[in-house]
Structures are given as C-alpha cells and as structure tokens.
C-alpha cells in the first residue's frame, strides 16, 4: 500500500508519515512538497494521497492545489488534512467538497480521528470528521426541503449514503437488489441537482428519515 503525503511543511509531512507507518500495516509512505511523478512524467500510481492544506493560505490557492491533485491522481483516494484556525474552522469545507475529495479531517481532530479517516477512505468510503459533517448537514447551511420532494424511501437511502454506506451494503441492509438502490441513488442526485454524496450532504436536512444525532452516534461507534 503506497500513501503519498503532499504538503508545504516538512515537519508536518514527516510527523504524519511516522504516524501512518506505525498505525497502518504494510504502508509505504512518501512525503513531498508537490506532486510526484515517475520517470515518464506521469503521476505515481498510489493508493492514497493525503493533501495538507492550511487556512493561512488563501482559499483560492488551496482549491487550486486540491483540483490539481484530484486531476493528476484521479485513480487514487484523496484525504484532505486542513490546518484550521479561527471561529469558523470549516469555512473552506464547502468549497473543498465541491472540488472533490474522499475524506476530510482537521488539525483539531484527535489522532484516533486521523487514523479512522485513513482506514475509512482506503476501504472505499467517503469520510468527513463529525464536526465538519455536522456543518455540511445543515447546522450552518440553510435548507429548503419544500423544493426537494424526496420520498421517505429516498430519504432513508440518502441518509445511509451520507453515513458512508455503499450501494451494495444498503441493498443488504434493506433486503433489496443493488440495482434498485443504484436507481434510487440516481433519482436522489437528479432531484437534488447534485453530482456526488458530499454535495448531497450540503443541500439536505435528513431528520425525517435519519437525523443528524444518529449519524454522529454511528460515526463515533464505528471508531
């Protein structure tokens, strides 16, 4: 398993590399300042890229770096680790979500949260630290549910998707065919005018089917 850490601060990169080497079995870790390529000029084939961002830099600069990494490492899992500060530590999260990532944690999160995020993202799930997820799910974003006519069935599936469940897992849990759940997911994204699960979390308040407290409890239980 090959993990690349990209970040400006050498001490941060090397500290993360040491933690990953100790916590993740058989992990090969490379830490670099910028994108790393093979001899042909192509991005290295890696399992995960951990992109270290800082709120000391402009959001436009951070978005440019994230989009560049997402494009160059389109087949790799991408985890954003942001060094946050101030009264609104998640002020950039919505922009990052729209630019594409598989996971998000911050410098405020405990070590266990960082380890959990790596394992979740490597397993194929989407992951956002609980406090960040809380903001995306509506405590800081206004929601007009009347304009989004989802059925109770669709609300339930949407809630499970936001918990990180795959289509196949939802199918098993609800005793349905995976093709049925896939169709429901497509309908949800179409109705909400979203392109992925992270964007879906920005526009839905799912309390009628699966409230926020239950989702946060589930995240804590899975650690």
Read off the pTM.
Answer: 0.60
- Give me the residue spans of the domains in the chain: 2-128, 139-221
Q: pLDDT digit string (tens) for 1-37?
A: 889 899 988 888 889 989 888 888 888 888 887 765 5
- For the ranges 90-94, 184-188, 209-213, the lowest mean pLDDT is seen at 209-213
Residues 6+ apart with CB under 8 A from 169: 160
The pLDDT > 70 percentage for the chain reads: 80
DSSP labels for 204-216? Answer: ---TTTS-HHHHH
Instruction: Output the DSSP codes for 118-137.
Output: HHHHHTT--EE-HHHHHIII
CATH topology of domain 139-221: Arc Repressor Mutant, subunit A (1.10.10)
Q: Name residues whose C-beta falls within 8 Å of residue 68's C-beta, 6 or more positions apart in sequence.
A: 35
Q: Which CATH number fits domain 2-128: 3.40.50.2300, 3.40.50.620, 3.30.200.20, 3.40.640.10?
A: 3.40.50.2300
- pLDDT, tens digit, for every residue of 86-117? 777 888 888 888 788 999 999 999 999 999 99
Tokens 């402009």 locate to: 58
């Amino acid at each position: 398993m090959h993990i690349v850490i990209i970040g400006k601060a050498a001490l941060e990169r090397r500290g993360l590399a040491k933690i990953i080497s100790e916590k993740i079995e058989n992990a090969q870790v490379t830490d670099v300042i910028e994108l790393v390529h093979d001899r042909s000029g192509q991005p290295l084939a890696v399992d995960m890229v951990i992109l270290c961002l800082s709120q000391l830099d402009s959001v436009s600069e951070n978005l440019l770096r994230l989009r560049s990494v997402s494009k160059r490492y389109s087949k790799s899992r991408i985890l954003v680790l942001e060094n946050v500060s101030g009264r609104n530590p998640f002020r950039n999260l919505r922009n990052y979500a729209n630019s594409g990532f598989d996971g998000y944690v911050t410098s405020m999160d405990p070590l266990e949260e960082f380890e959990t995020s790596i394992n979740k993202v490597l397993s194929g799930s989407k992951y956002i630290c609980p406090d960040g997820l809380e903001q995306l799910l509506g405590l800081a974003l206004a929601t007009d549910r009347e304009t989004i006519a989802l059925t109770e069935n669709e609300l339930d599936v949407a809630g499970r998707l936001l918990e990180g469940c795959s289509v196949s897992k939802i199918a098993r849990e609800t005793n349905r065919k995976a093709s049925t759940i896939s169709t429901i997911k497509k309908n949800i994204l179409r109705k909400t005018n979203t392109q992925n699960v992270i964007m879906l979390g920005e526009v839905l308040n799912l309390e009628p089917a699966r409230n926020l407290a239950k989702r946060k409890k589930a995240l804590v239980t899975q650690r």
